[in-house]
Amino acid sequence: MDGGQSASQVILDVMCYVTSTGLTQIPLIAPGRALDTRIGISGFTGQVVSGTDRCFALAGVVGVLASASAVVVNVTAVGYAADW
């Protein structure tokens, strides 16, 4: 995640994942909120500061296997301080 031009809160909702052994299948899972920096879901709170990068581990969270090599997520930025 890149903070871009404005600090903002981040929400990540996981939709599905892929493992290296199952590239021909994408197992759908019940959508789950893996991260919400507004309220501390996954232990992170506070805005992602502008001009900085922040990584979030999603393997083993909300139904994603620990062996997942990729995830499909919906990314939402809220509470940003300046125009994009």
Which strands, in side-by-side order, build the sheet including 68-78? 28-36, 9-19, 68-78
pLDDT at 62 over 80: yes
- Say what the pTM is: 0.82
Give me the percent of the chain exceeding a pLDDT of 70: 90
Tally Cβ neighbours within 10 Å of residue 73. Answer: 19
Q: How many CA atoms are closer than 13 Å to the CA of 46, on its beta-carbon side?
A: 5
- The pair of structure tokens assigned to 82 is 């300046």
For the chain, the maximum distance between any two Cα atoms, rounded to a whole number of angstroms, is: 43
